[in-house]
Amino acid sequence: MQDVPTLVAQAREGRPRAVARLISLVEGASGQLREVMAALAPLAGNAYVVGLTGSPGVGKSTSTSALVTAYRRQGRRVGVLAVDPSSPFSGGALLGDRVRMSDHVSDPGVYIRSMATRGHLGGLAWAAPQAIRVLDAAGCDVILVETVGVGQSEVEIAAQADTSVVLLAPGMGDGIQAAKAGILEIGDVYVVNKADRDGADSTARELNHMLGLGESRSPGDWRPPIVKTVASREEGIDELVEALEKHRAWMDERGVLTERRRARAAHEVETIAVTALRERIGDLHGDRRVSALAERIVAGELDPYRAADELVAGLTEM
């Protein structure tokens, strides 16, 4: 058993080993998870969470690393959650992002954690919300969440980030892919990375055109900017940071940031509740009550919906 109060105190002091242990408790769904979350609740809520998403190969890891460098120049503590796809066989992940961000490993003002999706759809690890809370409570000013990059299931990042950054690159068919995946609806800032390649200007124009289609914004509403970068050379990264700060200021001014965080908390509560109910239903597999309901359905005495209502009513009374 871990001494949670001591771990939390050490994490607040910026000790990476304590932060690592807390996130491990979260990832492993430890029996101490509730104690950890209760201890962190009054300490979190200060970090600015930026999600980076996009198709594989657009340069998410390189862009994340460049953003870390820019924020560290400003003296900010930065946390990075780099979510890697899991092997469907072993459950393990490549964790290649940590390799790409090796320049920051020795910086005490940067904490980098690779997490595996473990089969969770939506481009995020299921434990990401709690891991974000750990980094927040540990004193990170900015938390960068880089998603898997699996194409059409990337929209979940919008539910976890204060600001969502969508990356595209020229020559990858990203314009059509963006429309297909629905990421034109989730981006707060768009980045055309690898802008030194042919086709960068046309990609930016196409993206601007697509963002304008069916646009129904009121005066004062946020219009996502398009920033061109060459992340491998840190070109355009200052402009990206400026766009992020403008979006944060706009959200603060209009109360959007508070509303997004409230919605995020509500989503997290719903997820935990649904998971608990699903576990209870799983425990009922082969249970006599389920068998009795099945028999009544087969006999034509009951329809599946009424049977499900009876089962749910029984679960909520437990």
| Predicted model pTM | 0.84
Rounded Cα–Cα distance for residues 156 and 40 (Å): 24
CA neighbor of 144 nearest in space, from 47, 257, 233, 19 = 47
Residues 217-269 have pLDDT tens digits of: 777 889 999 999 999 999 999 999 999 999 999 999 999 999 999 988 888 88
Whether the pLDDT of residue 97 is over 80: the answer is: no
pLDDT tens-place string over residues 121-180: 443 556 788 899 999 999 999 999 988 665 444 556 667 899 999 999 997 665 555 555
Measure the CA dihedral 47/50/56/60, to 10°: -80
Structure-token pair, residue 33: 């998870």
Instruction: Give CA separation, 38 vs 68, 71, 243, 252, in Å.
Output: 29, 30, 34, 27
pLDDT (tens digit per residue) in 62-89: 999 999 999 999 999 999 998 765 433 3
Distance separating alpha carbons of residues 198 and 192, to the nearest angstrom = 12
Question: Partners of 116 in the beta sheet?
Answer: 84
Give the amino acid at 309.
Answer: D
Q: Which residue has the tokens 């194409």?
A: 151
CA gap 162, 47 in Å, rounded: 9
Q: What is the pLDDT of residue 121?
A: 43
pLDDT tens per residue across span 7-26: 999 999 889 999 999 999 98
- Structure confidence at residue 83 (pLDDT): 79
pLDDT (tens digit, 9 = 90+) per residue, 40-61? 999 998 999 999 988 888 899 9
Q: Which tokens belong to 78?
A: 């930065």
Q: In the chain, which ranges are continuous DSSP H helix?
A: 4-12, 16-27, 33-40, 60-73, 96-100, 128-137, 174-181, 200-212, 237-254, 256-283, 288-298, 304-316
User: 188 to each of 166, 273, 300, how far by Cα in Å?
Assistant: 8, 29, 52
What is the three-class DSSP state of 169?
coil
- pLDDT given for residue 92 in this prediction: 40
The CA distance from 134 to 37, in Å, is 8
